[in-house]
Structure 1
Amino acid sequence: MNLKQYTKEFSYNLRLAYPIILGMVGHTLIGIVDNIMVGKLGSTELAAVSLGNSMIFIAMSLGIGFSTAITPIVAEGDAEKNDNKIRSAFHHGLFLCTILGLVLFGVIVLAKPIMELLQQPADVIALAKPYLDWVAFSLIPLIMYQGYKQFADGLSLTKYSMYAMIMANVLHVGINYMLIYGIWIFPKMGIIGAALGTVISRIFLVMFMHIMLSRRNDLKRFFKNFSFDEIKKETIKKIISIGFPSAMQMLFEVVLFTASIWLCGNIGKTSQAANQIALSLASLTFMFAMGLSVTSMIRVSNQRGLQDFKNLIVVARSIFLLAIIIETVFAILFVAFHNFLPHIFLNMENTGQILDNSEVISIASKLLLIAAVFQISDGIQVVVLGALRGLQDVKVPMYITFVAYWIIGFPISYYLAEYTELKAQGVWIGLLAGLTSAAIFLYVRFHFLTKKLIQNSLSNS
């Protein structure tokens, strides 16, 4: 193995990845800003936002997972210089994303009674329900935005989603600040203000994206003359055949993390708050791996379109290696600052909550030590998953992720949380086990497929 052939790909990988990473960090920051601003109101409000967002997060993962089907088709069309393929993937993808956004909004609004079944505290549920109605509505513009984003990513135009996300975030922080605390002429709306801030910023997000892309001269041809007559059954089927398993893969992972929120909620309020802090920080660093995962999907799709399978392996492995290096750096930072980081999320001046807060910090700092190791497994599994999506191999990875998270990971989390002294730490040990098995199985799958592709191309030549 010649290390140089992989490291020479690093700079191009990072050029493609950094705008995606910043855009993804933007997604996560919307949640973190809500948590920090709402956390200043009190721990019940923070628990309500955490509970509401756990349901939104599940719906969001389905929408984002499904929309990733657009990128490999567009990237392959881009390598083949096939405009019809690109236009068709974009139009059908956007059409399906809009429908999916409406469906997810409806499902979340109807699913509110689930909160009672999960035996969450009554005062938390009372606050979470109205918050959830508004944030559920924001899924419609968010999933539509994903249609535009995946189209631009497929053309390797990864900067536009970053610009749109930065503008939406600036707007979000400003609106949140005014509506949560009642600044200037605005009423003090508490967590409903946080929800409205999310809705307004996401509507602007999709508008920014449309305006920026449709004004580019070289993209105008993809935006002209859209008509429903162009919508073809076979193209819809193709996008769904890639999008549905991709959405399921994302769902299996996100529901596992959501289950961790509920398990910690059953243990107690301080465990739930500590879990939320550790999860917020781990989600932030995971976005770096997510950015590399999209890069892996784009570059592997390009090489597949060019039928250059030898280079495809080099490109993919260079991204895997980069992900391991970056996540290891974060792991070291988590270990070094595990006692300090939880303080950022809590108001330690509030004397009424000093006991609760001290307990939250003690639990969260221990969770961050496990999160340090699990970053690396999480990073590997998501970049390999991106490469497999680039190969348009989505069904087998769907089964692999199900087994890793739900047959291996969740039972360990559940057992350690409910039946041992480990409690919240036990939940996270289960998460680590699930992610590590996913990383190993998915890499084996990638190795098997690429070996087969090279053998086939040699026997055909």
Structure 2
Amino acid sequence: MDTTLPLKKKPFRLATIVMPILITQVALYMMTFFDILMTGRYDTHHLAGVTIGSSFWMPVYTGLAGILMGLTPIIAQYVGARRSEEVRPSVQQGLYIAVVLAAIVYTLILFAVSPILEAMPLENEVRIVAAAYLKGMSLGLLPLFAYTVLRSFFDALGATRVSMFIILLSAPINIFINYLLIFGKWGFPELGGAGAGYASGITYWIVFIIACAMAWVGKPFNKFKVFTGWQKVSFKKWKMILLIGVPIGISIFVETSIFSAVTLMMSNYSTAVISAHQIALNFTSLLYMLPLSISMGATILVGQAVGAGQMRDAKHYSFLGVGLAVGFSFVSIAILLVFREPIASLYTTDGQIIGLATQFFIYAALFQLSDAIQAPVQGALRGYKDVNMTFIMAIVSYWVLGLPIGYVMATYTNLGPYGYWVGLIAGLTVGAITLTIRLIYIQKKKFS
């Protein structure tokens, strides 16, 4: 793989890697969107149950799946260094770890979720739907984690279009199964919100089967023969994967859980305020798909360049990623400021909620620039296999600084609920600055 492209061609190379990742992330987002939309059309209590269930599911899943993402820089560096013989053992050990992680999450869902739901002040019907939704989702735990390993394998080779193809193929399948199981069409049982969970579980198996077929017969993946010559469990390989993957997983968990924490802390405010907050959070999450995709692309290209010993190329891809994300952040800011009322109107017709949401969008616009810097910088650091500082700064910026600052601003100033967003802005800004300093240090001191 050519890691010595002229500088003027590198932006195009980055774009060809990032675009399929972006489409994949948006498609994944839309699957969740249709879960909520279709359940909401079925029944309000079922919608609440799915919302509660997904609030348990997302932080835990994304955090543990993030551990398996540690394979991406590992394999990318092997590919860059032309050490192809190391790829197959890494994928196989990653699949073993996926089995263990799936068992851990399944055990948590089986024994820990019900007591937590019982302790929450929920209506009984909502509690039942949430538990049933999680039960349905858990059927797909094993294939979902195993697919994450195969996706890391595909992406590390720069073949991000494969993941895009798989998700684009499976997204309409998921929507169709949702239709069958939520509403009980064509003789299928009418499961309501639980049907969305079972539909996702079934879809994850389909995704995994397609990914296995691609890895088995597709080019250039078949030459690695990842499903032949199975090795025994190697705790040495596990240690290598986990030393990189665990900090990534913790970092992702910290980032996703902070927004759940902020939402819970807003429970003292009115339903209209909480709804407006959720609208702003939902739309900015969609905008975040772009810097997130650039971050994942930076991990791949920086990892390949480092593996090939092309440190100058690694530096170029690092800052091209930041530049691309910052450029698009100004577009995001313009969208949030100019179209904030029409965007809010897409979610609700309630004038009070729309008015509050437009105010939240102003604060959302303020952290677009910080997001655009810290996400690709994180991705570049992962490409260098420098992951510990990333998760430490995630904890510091979100939980040590962001949440306390948000609480103080919301409680002791006239900002009220908007104070929590000020805290998020402060935390993101500190994270962006410190991680950028770390990236420059790594490039100068360790990889010069």
Using structure 1 for the length normalisation, give the TM-score. Answer: 0.89
Q: What's the CA shift string for 1:298-337, capped at 9, x where partnerless?
A: 1111111122222221221011100111222122112222
1:340 aligns with 2:328: no
Indicate if the aligned counterparts of 1:6 and 1:315 stay in contact, CA closer than 8 A.
no
Shift of 1:159: 0.7
Indicate if the aligned counterparts of 2:39 and 2:193 stay in contact, CA closer than 8 A.
yes
Indicate if the aligned counterparts of 1:98 and 1:143 stay in contact, CA closer than 8 A.
yes
Corresponding residue for 2:318? 316
Indicate if the aligned counterparts of 1:7 and 1:318 stay in contact, CA closer than 8 A.
no
Corresponding residue for 2:361? 368
Shift of 1:428: 2.1
1:432 aligns with 2:425: yes
Flag the 1:104–1:379 CA change in 2: closer, same or farther, 3 A: farther
Question: 1:285 and 1:84 mapped to 2: Cα distance?
Answer: 39
Corresponding residue for 2:20? 19
Indicate if the aligned counterparts of 1:263 and 1:417 stay in contact, CA closer than 8 A.
no
Indicate if the aligned counterparts of 1:417 and 1:425 stay in contact, CA closer than 8 A.
yes
The match for 1:396 among 379, 389, 395 is 389
Question: 1:248 and 1:258 mapped to 2: Cα distance?
Answer: 15
The match for 2:436 among 443, 451, 456 is 443
Corresponding residue for 2:3? none
Flag the 1:269–1:120 CA change in 2: closer, same or farther, 3 A: farther
Flag the 1:252–1:85 CA change in 2: closer, same or farther, 3 A: same
Corresponding residue for 2:403? 410
The DSSP-based 3-state class of the residue aligned with 1:340 is helix
Corresponding residue for 2:373? 380
Flag the 1:394–1:29 CA change in 2: closer, same or farther, 3 A: same
Shift of 1:7: 6.3
Deviates more, 1:301-310 or 1:290-299: 301-310
Question: 2:371 and 2:203 mapped to 1: Cα distance?
Answer: 29
Question: 1:136 and 1:360 mapped to 2: Cα distance?
Answer: 35
Deviates more, 1:375-384 or 1:313-322: 375-384
The match for 2:168 among 150, 158, 166 is 166
Q: What's the CA shift string for 1:268-287, capped at 9, x where partnerless?
A: 43333333322221121111
Shift of 1:262: 1.7
Shift of 1:288: 1.3
1:241 aligns with 2:234: no
Structure 2 stretches lacking a partner, 5+ long? 1-5
Shift of 1:253: 0.7
Question: 1:365 and 1:373 mapped to 2: Cα distance?
Answer: 13
Indicate if the aligned counterparts of 1:36 and 1:345 stay in contact, CA closer than 8 A.
no
Flag the 1:313–1:65 CA change in 2: closer, same or farther, 3 A: same
Deviates more, 1:66-75 or 1:306-315: 306-315
Question: 2:190 and 2:265 mapped to 1: Cα distance?
Answer: 32
The DSSP-based 3-state class of the residue aligned with 1:201 is helix
Indicate if the aligned counterparts of 1:323 and 1:379 stay in contact, CA closer than 8 A.
yes
Cα-Cα RMSD: 2.3
The match for 2:257 among 255, 258, 261 is 255
Question: 1:109 and 1:167 mapped to 2: Cα distance?
Answer: 31
Question: 1:228 and 1:293 mapped to 2: Cα distance?
Answer: 32
Corresponding residue for 1:49? 50
Indicate if the aligned counterparts of 2:315 and 2:443 stay in contact, CA closer than 8 A.
yes
Question: 2:192 and 2:233 mapped to 1: Cα distance?
Answer: 44
Corresponding residue for 1:353? none
Counting only pairs closer than 5 Å after superposition, residues 302-313 of structure 1 correspond to structure 2 as 302-313=304-315
Corresponding residue for 1:70? 71
Question: 2:7 and 2:322 mapped to 1: Cα distance?
Answer: 10
Shift of 1:379: 2.6
Corresponding residue for 2:37? 36
Using structure 2 for the length normalisation, give the TM-score. Answer: 0.91
Counting only pairs closer than 5 Å after superposition, residues 173-322 of structure 1 correspond to structure 2 as 173-223=175-225, 226=228, 229-322=231-324
Flag the 1:217–1:7 CA change in 2: closer, same or farther, 3 A: closer
Deviates more, 1:255-264 or 1:380-389: 255-264
Indicate if the aligned counterparts of 1:6 and 1:317 stay in contact, CA closer than 8 A.
no
Question: 1:11 and 1:130 mapped to 2: Cα distance?
Answer: 46
1:83 aligns with 2:76: no
Question: 2:44 and 2:359 mapped to 1: Cα distance?
Answer: 20
Question: 1:447 and 1:173 mapped to 2: Cα distance?
Answer: 44
Indicate if the aligned counterparts of 1:26 and 1:166 stay in contact, CA closer than 8 A.
yes
The DSSP-based 3-state class of the residue aligned with 1:199 is helix
Q: What's the CA shift string for 1:224-256, capped at 9, x where partnerless?
A: 564554432211110011111111111111110
Flag the 1:111–1:375 CA change in 2: closer, same or farther, 3 A: farther
Flag the 1:116–1:444 CA change in 2: closer, same or farther, 3 A: farther
Corresponding residue for 1:127? 129
Question: 1:423 and 1:43 mapped to 2: Cα distance?
Answer: 29
Corresponding residue for 1:351? none
Flag the 1:7–1:413 CA change in 2: closer, same or farther, 3 A: farther
The match for 1:359 among 352, 357, 365 is 352
The amino acid of 2:22's aligned partner reads I
The match for 1:139 among 133, 138, 141 is 141
Question: 2:141 and 2:275 mapped to 1: Cα distance?
Answer: 25
